Chains A and B, each alone.
Chain A
Amino acid sequence: MLAWDVFYEQLVTKEGYKNVLVGLRNTVIIAVLGLIIGILIGTAIAIVRVMPKYKRLPRVLDKICTVYVAFFRGTPIVVQLLIGYYVLLPLTGINLSALSVCVIIFGMNSGAYVSEIMRSGILSVDPGQLDAGRALGLSYPTAMLKIVVPQAVKNIIPTIGNEFISLIKETSIVSFVSTVDLYVAFKKLASVDYLYTIPYLAMALVYIILVLIITLFIRLIERRLRVSDKRS
């Protein structure tokens, strides 16, 4: 079949796979580092939002977090990426690669979503846990980080998995800032003959395999965290 021959020639004989590997690497870098940044930012925001608001500082922080979440959930990520790379980065004068900007923007965007996931996790933990910690003399931050958050994390692992999977698939917009991801790399394979069918199907296959690996990985973490549940 002509389409197969062309695809094989583009991918193997003419070494198009090199670009696909770069794309795969970038997709994984953006999704993994983006998720790590997202979890850090998201946890911080979630803690601020559930903090008691008797004093001024928590109230101010809460307002800042509200605006942050509203911005990152209220605008498309492609807009955030364009603003970050073409508007804000030149203002700062820092020399960052386009890929680094992608990692930061995807991380900040993910942080807004993870904050709500984390907040629901924290709220799902019995309030008595925090009270008990406080009664034993732990400070609020210690009780929160050592007692409540670990239990919350266990509850939200499946939802964090969702977030990871959607990050993997959302990276195709990086072509706006001249970066290559899996989608951009596969699209290039049809650049000469305009035979899109097989590159697209192959791309779908790679994405599915990637997501299946992540699913397996998350299930392993989940099982590990549930070990203590079975003790009687």
Chain B
Amino acid sequence: MLAMVMAVGITSISAGCTDGGDKEFVVATNTPFSPFEYVDGNMYYGVDIEIAKMYAEANNLKLVIKDMDFDAIIENVNNGYSDIAMAGLTYSEKRAQSVNFTNTYFDASQVLVVPASDTTFDSCTTAEEVEAILGALTSSTKIGVQNGTTGQLYVEGNEDWEFDGFAVECKGYDSAALAARDMLNGGVSYVVVDKAPAKAIADGLNKTTTQVKVIDIELTSEQYAFAVGKDNSALLTSFNAFLAEIKSNGKFQEIIDKYFSNIGTKDGVAVVA
């Protein structure tokens, strides 16, 4: 019996690999969080994925991508099962107590996604006006978020993040895409999600008919960073140097242009080799 279990262990996962050195560079992520990480057929794509691939190639490491529940990512990195979390993670002081954040690489914010027919927020121009409307809602209104994300903290309220929260009922989903799906089915009135994925979700859902719209008002101001384990300062130093390098030589901007302006060819990583 034990032999059988061991055999499973050995043959188990060769997924999400690219060739390189013998040493592995294990990345913990959570799809779908387009355009930072998503799966298209048998390929992982996204800003985070391409940065990971570039780092692995530069350091002659074998890239292994582990796609898991968002809530499990920090725990996975802390236990050393993965080297780094690359999942559009928002930097916060509270989170920095349990992991080592790299330098930030992207300015992000939360926005509202509403059904195309909804006109509640059409006259709003500032975050204060949107929050005034949200603040007036009662617990009979439901807002959808992805579990464990800043959006959830923003709607429910959180002292560490200085979010007051709202009186509405906050419904958590596996992904913001599922929350948006449920919004179309009438399960929730609005969805709060990061701006870039909000646009990707709207693009996906509006392919044939316009079903949702993104209220383009930034409700929060946050920054994404990657996270390594508390005791892994070697990788932290190396990765920060790498980030500074690709930012100065334009490679980072190239990746951003691919996913935000559709310039250039996207470079993915096979899910199953």
A interacts with B:
yes
The chain A residues found within 8 Å of chain B, CB to CB, are 2, 9-11, 13-19, 21-22, 29, 33, 36-37, 40, 82, 86, 89-90, 96-100, 103-104, 175-180, 184, 188-196
- A11 and B40 alpha carbons, distance in the complex (Å): 9
Since A2-B208, A190-B32, A194-B177 are in contact, a sample of 11 more A-B pairs with Cβ atoms closer than 8 Å, ordered by chain A residue number, is A9-B41, A18-B42, A19-B271, A33-B5, A86-B72, A86-B76, A90-B80, A103-B8, A175-B67, A175-B68, A190-B177
Residue pair B79, A97 in contact (C-beta under 8 Å):
no
Residue pair B81, A188 in contact (C-beta under 8 Å):
no
Chain A residues within 8 Å of B1, by CB = 36-37, 40
Residue pair B8, A33 in contact (C-beta under 8 Å):
yes
Partner of A99, one of B9, B79, B80, B81: B9
Chain B residues within 8 Å of A21, by CB = 272
Q: Which B residues, 47 to 84, have Cβ-Cβ distances below 8 Å to chain A?
A: 66-69, 71-72, 75-76, 79-82
Residue pair A14, B40 in contact (C-beta under 8 Å):
yes
Residue pair A19, B15 in contact (C-beta under 8 Å):
yes
B86 CB to closest chain A CB, in angstroms?
A: 13
B8 CB to closest chain A CB, in angstroms?
A: 5
Partner of A100, one of B5, B43, B72: B5
Chain B residues within 8 Å of A191, by CB = 31-32, 34, 38-40
- A193 and B181 alpha carbons, distance in the complex (Å): 11
Residue pair B8, A100 in contact (C-beta under 8 Å):
yes
5 A-B residue contacts at CB 8 Å? A19-B39, A19-B272, A86-B79, A178-B28, A192-B34
Q: Which residue of chain A lies nearest to B67 when distances are taken between CB atoms in the complex?
A: A178
The chain B residues found within 8 Å of chain A, CB to CB, are 1, 4-6, 8-10, 12-13, 15, 28, 31-32, 34, 38-43, 66-69, 71-72, 75-76, 79-82, 177-178, 180-181, 201, 204-205, 207-208, 271-272
A126 CB to closest chain B CB, in angstroms?
A: 32
Residue pair A176, B72 in contact (C-beta under 8 Å):
yes
With known contacts A97-B9, A175-B68, A188-B271, A15–B42 Cβ distance under 8 A? yes
- A17 and B181 alpha carbons, distance in the complex (Å): 24
Main secondary structure of the interface of B (DSSP, over half): mixed
B85 CB to closest chain A CB, in angstroms?
A: 12
B111 CB to closest chain A CB, in angstroms?
A: 17
Chain B residues within 8 Å of A86, by CB = 72, 75-76, 79
- A9 and B39 alpha carbons, distance in the complex (Å): 13
Residue pair A176, B69 in contact (C-beta under 8 Å):
yes
Residue pair B69, A175 in contact (C-beta under 8 Å):
yes
Residue pair B180, A194 in contact (C-beta under 8 Å):
yes
- A175 and B29 alpha carbons, distance in the complex (Å): 11
With known contacts A2-B208, A96-B9, A192-B32, A176–B68 Cβ distance under 8 A? yes
Residue pair A103, B5 in contact (C-beta under 8 Å):
yes
- A179 and B204 alpha carbons, distance in the complex (Å): 26
A117 CB to closest chain B CB, in angstroms?
A: 20
- A86 and B81 alpha carbons, distance in the complex (Å): 9
Residue pair B15, A10 in contact (C-beta under 8 Å):
no
Residue pair B201, A194 in contact (C-beta under 8 Å):
yes
With known contacts A16-B41, A37-B1, A194–B75 Cβ distance under 8 A? no
- A184 and B72 alpha carbons, distance in the complex (Å): 15
Residue pair B8, A10 in contact (C-beta under 8 Å):
no
Partner of B204, one of A18, A97, A193: A193
Q: Which residue of chain B lies nearest to A12 when distances are taken between CB atoms in the complex?
A: B41
Which of the listed residues A10, A90, A180 has the most CB atoms from chain B within 10 Å of its own CB? A180
B2 CB to closest chain A CB, in angstroms?
A: 10
